[in-house]
Structure 1
Amino acid sequence: MTETAALIAGRYQLLEPVGKGGMGRVWLAHDEVLHRQVAIKEVVPPAWLTKSERGQLRELTLREARAAARLNHPNVVKIYDVLHSEKWPWIVMEYVPSRSLQKVLEEDGPLPPQIAAEVGLAVLAALQAAHGAGVLHRDVKPHNVLIGDDGRVVLTDFGLATLDTDGAITRPGLIATPQYLAPERARLGLSSVESDLWSLGATLYAAVEGRTPYARPSVVETLTALATQEPDPLLQAGSLKPVIEGLLRRDPKTRMASQEVERLLVRAANGQSTDVEARRRRRLRLILAAVLVAAIAAGSGAAVAAARTGGSGGDVTDPSRLSAAIQAGVAACEQAAPADAHPVPTDRPGPPGTPKLVNGFTWYFRPGSFGVGVPIGWRAWSVGSTACFADPRGGRVLAVDPIRPSTMDPVEGARAEERRLVDSGAWPGYQLVHLKPLSMSLPAAEWEFTFDSGGGKRHAAALVVSHPQADLVVYWATDEADFSPNRSLYDVVRASFRPPPPGSGQRPSVNASGSATS
């Protein structure tokens, strides 16, 4: 009977290998009891290990499970179980459909600084959770950072992790990858919070430069450079340069602390970049998109204006007019921000009873209508009742349209809007990714799609929430290449969204000029 035909522990059906390293391989498997996919790490020790080192490796595997199991964090792969076999234990883990950051760099090339900063924030959050639980990772590198197909970023492979109350395993055969090894670990074998942060800096360096900070032909040359030289100059780091340089300081006592790293990464992720050429390219794409949207809207400008103002005494919530108003609102938010757009206020409290937002976000709250988390530093403006928010560098757009007629069936409402948009040609090259119901306090659906814009492709996700008084639409869009790396930001926006309570009797309010009150 082949390995994949057998059940492991009478429960896990091995399906196919999905990863391989120097100390083992990872299988995609099916849990026959809970009917879910899992990943199972099979330890396959190298033949050259001594009996003593094999014993250490067994202990190392169990430490990995114990260390990771202490952590319950969205940026850390979850450990479900440890299976004991006659030879080696197997670790049952959460399965995250993904590519490693190393694979992304090999296949797609270096990341733009803004995207690398967002990846860095996720890895830093995982390390902060680990360090808070007394766990050192000891092997942070692009190979152990997974970029999920849904944009989630997770840190995995705590195979060299130790609890700070345990003795470190520092046998030469079990050492971390030299290119991502802090200088004090290379010299003395000492592990600390600071050495994990150095490895994060080396990972960020590789993410933007496409090579390691001490790229040398051999391990000996790499270790010699670590001990005697400064990192190679940064050429493509842009706004990430200060944080990478701060993390790669040789003396751990002067190395940048976690809190300062987080602050600088948030700034870089929010687009405060010195990369003038990148901003110019994004602005050009946005201008091209605006020209296309203006051309589409030109034929129905009168109808749009009537829908926004209510026409000659008509009801602004009349469905026949809302159809045009919704299209115009979202389309207008895809255009460049107007001159009177203003930074999102950072001093507004969130809706009563709402939790504190994650770092880098602030509340935008329209009384009687909705509340939503918006990235700090973005520009805000209104188009009729629609609230528009945009990254000042271009590319990323958020819109909230609060006055669609209520359907109480968000999936069908999205399908109707899809048919209308496709038939009208509003989104050229439209392709549906998925349309599915979501579990929320109100009926809700997520509608994800792509479309052509100004010679490029845009990727959008719309949260449709059916309120008894009116449907609300939260629209998020980026350039196609940026959607997956930005998925975690959309997840924050979606989770933060607060419509009026179902029993409030409130509907989104619009003043006499058609602008929503705030």
Structure 2
Amino acid sequence: MTDQDASTRSRRRLAGRYVLMEEIGRGGMGVVWRAEDTVIGRNVAVKELRPPEGVPQQERGVLEERVLREARSAGRLNDPSIVTVFDVVSENAATYIVMELVEAPTLADVVQVNGPLPAAQVIELGRRLLHALQTAHAAGIVHRDVKPGNIMVLPDGRAKLTDFGIAQAADDPRLTTTGLLVGSATYMAPERISENAATAASDLWALGATLFHAVEGRAPFDRPTTAATLHAILNDVPYLTRCQGPLASVIMGLLITRPHARLTAEQAAGLLDATAARPELSGPLGTAGTQQVTSPMGPPPGHYGAAGGGYAMPGARIEKNRRRWPAVVGALVVVMLASFGGGYLTRLVGSADDVQDVPAHLGGAVAYGSGGELTGFSLGAGECASGALSGRGFTRESAVPCEEDHDFEVFRRNRPFDLDTGAAYPGREELTRYAAGLCELYFTSDRIDLPADESDNLAFTVIVPTESEWTTDSENTTGLNDENLSYCVLHRTDGATITGSMLSSPED
């Protein structure tokens, strides 16, 4: 017997074939071992399930039973961006998941060592992970813990989503009723906090937070304490500062608080697929160009930042031009106001083959009234206010002096039909197109004083009424009162506030 044979016999062996070699990771749900499958002769990863301390025994049993069942389900998933599950073993009152061994850093490691990723890399990362989640969701499996630490980044640019060991079947309510929240708080969707509802939509929210982390270099809602983090998820609006255009639209669209208003996987994938060939449209704010990248996702493990490897860091050469990014590209897209608030622009583009002209400075669009992002809006031209354009209303009482710091300024109000016609509601898309063209005309005119050094950081948002807010009573549409009005709102794209008015001559 050789020394190697003796060493192998002294190690733990599972199911008569998996020899645990060394511990390679540890998390809230268990320990991961490097192991050898002695039957096939390959290295594998083995996750030993260890539920968090303090979980009641009955709940622990439910968790272990479900993990066993869902790990077996995950083993049937076939996607190049999902870590393959080979086997599940129950032995000595413990559960072990045998899976593909991926020797690569996690996305969290890559960002921590190298900083934010260029937009082109995040776009490709998002495309792969969306496809992985679509595969899982189609099989009825919800991951429950999508986060940078569960995404392995290979040297050739591929990504692998791992840790389906705590995944949940969409039709299994038992842990919801017992009250155990499984997952990482920083990447937990709002509905999971308020209702403990783990769904495909909550996985997509977590993906949005993960892509935010990748492009910004930080988690969008990370706070000093768990309570503060959960409060931020429920109440705060994160601001993107390092990307724009379709990528920003996807990230903010996935981070919409209300699940039914959130981007679907198909909508997000359509946006990313359409822009994959033109990643410069989603580059750092104020630029449109290409970033120098020597490796799709960074250097191999253990060689971060080595000479000749890695990817371009902030400050790398970017080829600039003066054309603004198109606000909308893709199929059945819902374009979010990426750096400013929670509204969206619905279907300005029918498909990748049916791209319509979109004003160059349009940052997004929201609607006010029942069914809209805003409960109401009635500010006058030349008035300023602060706050996200989502989940609230703005009236004259909401206005602040423009000389003070503010988030946006109304620079134009308009009613699209003759004042006395009482026309029927034309539809949100039609109103948005009409208002966007008018706002663009004013935004680029001499009525707006755009500082030369800030012009690339400014955009406008269109605010239109919903159908419930529209009136066909011609007696209520005389003069420029607040009926049937659309608004043009000027703001910064980097989330910073504005001091002073940008209007040379506000008028209604």
TM-score of the superposed pair, with normalisation by structure 2? 0.52
Q: 1:281 to 1:140 in 2, by over 3 A?
A: closer
Aligned-pair CA distance for 1:66:
2.4
Deviates more, 1:46-55 or 1:29-38: 46-55
Q: 1:112 to 1:91 in 2, by over 3 A?
A: same
Aligned-pair CA distance for 1:14:
1.9
1:9 aligns with 2:15: yes
Aligned-pair CA distance for 1:138:
1.5
1:227 matched residue in structure 2: 234
1:135 matched residue in structure 2: 141
Alpha-carbon deviations, 1:273-300, whole Å to 9, x = none?
24365836649xxxxxxxxxxxxxxxxx
The answer to whether the 8 Å contact 1:110/1:207 transfers is yes
Q: 1:3 to 1:258 in 2, by over 3 A?
A: farther
Please point out which of 242, 246, 249 is paired with 1:236: 242
In 2: Cα distance, 1:174 partner to 1:46 partner: 11
The answer to whether the 8 Å contact 1:116/1:204 transfers is yes
Please point out which of 183, 188, 208 is paired with 1:181: 188
In 1: Cα distance, 2:263 partner to 2:70 partner: 27
Identity %: 42
What are structure 1's unaligned runs of at least 5 residues?
Answer: 284-375, 377-518
In 1: Cα distance, 2:234 partner to 2:290 partner: 40
Q: 1:280 to 1:237 in 2, by over 3 A?
A: closer
In 2: Cα distance, 1:116 partner to 1:176 partner: 23
Q: 1:159 to 1:169 in 2, by over 3 A?
A: farther
In 1: Cα distance, 2:107 partner to 2:207 partner: 12
The answer to whether the 8 Å contact 1:114/1:268 transfers is no
Aligned-pair CA distance for 1:164:
2.1
2:59 matched residue in structure 1: 53
2:276 matched residue in structure 1: 269
Q: 1:259 to 1:39 in 2, by over 3 A?
A: same
Q: What root-mean-square deviation, in Å, do the aligned CA atoms of Structure 1 and Structure 2 show? A: 2.5
1:279 matched residue in structure 2: 289
In 1: Cα distance, 2:272 partner to 2:291 partner: 22
1:211 aligns with 2:221: no
SS in 2 for 1:211: coil
Q: Higher strand fraction: Structure 1 or Structure 2?
A: 1
Please point out which of 202, 219, 223 is paired with 1:195: 202
Alpha-carbon deviations, 1:426-459, whole Å to 9, x = none?
xxxxxxxxxxxxxxxxxxxxxxxxxxxxxxxxxx
Q: 1:250 to 1:225 in 2, by over 3 A?
A: same
The answer to whether the 8 Å contact 1:4/1:14 transfers is no
1:156 aligns with 2:166: no
2:130 matched residue in structure 1: 124
What are structure 2's unaligned runs of at least 5 residues?
Answer: 1-6, 294-351, 353-508
Q: 1:211 to 1:60 in 2, by over 3 A?
A: farther
**Aligned amino acid, residue 263 of structure 1:** G
Please point out which of 67, 89, 99 is paired with 1:93: 99
Deviates more, 1:197-206 or 1:152-161: 152-161
Aligned-pair CA distance for 1:112:
0.9
SS in 1 for 2:221: coil
SS in 1 for 2:279: coil
Q: Higher helix fraction: Structure 1 or Structure 2?
A: 1
2:304 matched residue in structure 1: none
1:258 aligns with 2:268: no
Aligned-pair CA distance for 1:4:
6.7
The answer to whether the 8 Å contact 2:83/2:161 transfers is yes
In 2: Cα distance, 1:198 partner to 1:46 partner: 24
In 2: Cα distance, 1:81 partner to 1:2 partner: 21
The answer to whether the 8 Å contact 1:209/1:234 transfers is yes
